[in-house]
Amino acid sequence: MSTVDVHFLPSLTTPEALSGATLVVIDVLRATTTITAALAAGAKEVIPCFEIDEARRIAAELPPGTSVLGGERGGKRIDGFDLGNSPTEYTPERVAGKSVVITTTNGTKALRQCRLAAEVWLGSLTNLGSVVARISAKPTIHVVCAGTDGHITLEDVVTAGYFVLALNRLGDWTEGDSAILARVAAESCENDSARLRSNFTQSRGGHNLVELGYDADIDYAMRLDINSVAPRLELKEWRIRSA
């Protein structure tokens, strides 16, 4: 029987504990939603960076005109960057055929814990079905939530629960306690868009976005299966591409 577990924060697990497993990283507000949107808009690849200077350096090393520099700190676009972290910014006109170099406060940093995994996928509600279709036959799956500034956030937990629900509908899974908690949270709002939005807006991450005027990003992130891409982190190259 296959097993699935959820880690509510990257700090609640270790690279060694995730070694050899299939991982799904979730930062639904907004990094994994935005990276999915970029690839759906035709981006060649997404290069995740941990620090701002690293992102600037990598973008500068790429041939002129072939890259787009995106990201945020504290939810706001970084000075001098082409784009922020809103999924609707990543349009075909801006990113098609280009390498997107991105750094975010939480999502890209969550990838640090994934370096020993067998496979790393980036999940959101917008690409739930596409990712689940590619991982449902794997024996061991860990869903890693990015959280916000080191704190557990409800929107990531609920989204992780959607993945657990989707896997359960395709087979028999042994769930860890955190996976059960996430699934129960998802079940409470699965067919109730108003409750789902409430969970997203009242969480730490959602509240921050509302304060900054990014309500539209929350609405976008709630849209189920609007993108057919499944972003996969190529660990050796450290590039995210659509599988």
**Largest Cα–Cα separation, the chain:** 50
Checking if the pLDDT of 1 tops 90, the result is no
Checking if the pLDDT of 232 tops 90, the result is yes
- Distance, in Å, from the CA atom of 157 to the CA atom of 144, rounded to the nearest integer, reads 9
- Burial call 30-63: b when 16+ CB within 10 Å, e when fewer: bbbbbbbbbbbbbbbbbbbbeebeebbebbeeee
The pTM for the full model equals 0.97
Reported in sequence order, the residue ranges of the chain that DSSP labels E, i.e. its strands, are: 2-7, 22-26, 45-48, 67-73, 76-77, 99-103, 119-123, 140-145, 173-175, 231-234, 239-242
CATH 3.90.1560.10 for the 2-242 domain, yes or no: yes
Checking if the pLDDT of 59 tops 90, the result is yes
- Distance, in Å, from the CA atom of 38 to the CA atom of 34, rounded to the nearest integer, reads 6
pLDDT of residue 67: 98
